[in-house]
Each structure stands twice: as C-alpha cells, then as structure tokens.
Amino acid sequence: MKRPLPKLTAHERLRKKLDRVQDTSAPGSITLRIRLTGALADAWRSLRDAAEGLDLSDSDLLGKLLLTAVKSVRRALRLMQQEGQP
C-alpha cells in the first residue's frame, strides 16, 4: 500500500509552484526595472509587508501576481483592443 504524501502548507505549495514555473525552459529571461508611484507604490509596499517573513523575493511576489492575474488582464486587453477597432 502506498503511503500518502504529506499535505503541503499554503506556503509550501506556493514555493513549489514558483520554483516549478521559474525552472521551466523558456527562450530567455527578462529583467524589469520599474518605478511605482502613488497608489501602485502603496499597493506594492502592502504586498511586501504581507509577505514579511515568508522568504519571498520581489521576483517571487511578482510571479505570484502574474500567475494569479494573467488571464483577467489578457481578457481586459482583448476587450480594449476590440473597443479601439472600428
């Protein structure tokens, strides 16, 4: 009889997913250098504060944002393109 795998915590699942998606072969990497101001800077600071003690880098945090939001942002961009076309 197979022994069941131990249940992962939410943090362990996130860490595993981030490691997996960043380790896959891709046609290269990108480096971002951005400046956030106003509400965007406040939002980033609040996320960094919330991630305090979780051993997440800025890349990890941005990765989680991208994985979570990519579908809805892509959908919104398509709608914007359709509205802009005659």
Q: Is residue 77 part of a domain?
A: yes
Q: Is the residue at 63 inside a domain?
A: yes
pLDDT above 70 for 86: no
- Domains contained in the chain, number: 1
Distance CA 42, CA 18 (A): 24
- Position 1 in a domain: no
Provide the 10 A C-beta neighbour count for residue 68: 10
> pLDDT at position 30, please?
82
Distance CA 36, CA 7 (A): 38
Residue 5: pLDDT over 70: yes
Q: Indicate if the pLDDT at residue 37 is higher than 90.
A: yes
The predicted structure's pLDDT at residue 1: 67
Q: Is residue 41 part of a domain?
A: no
- Residue 62 resides in a domain: yes
- Is 32 domain-assigned? no
Q: Identify the three-state secondary structure at position 3.
A: coil
Asked if residue 22 is part of any domain, the answer here is no
The residue ranking higher by pLDDT, 34 or 6, is 34
pLDDT confidence bin for 18, thresholds 50/70/90? confident
Domain containing 62 equals 58-86
Sign of CA dihedral 56, 17, 62, 23: positive
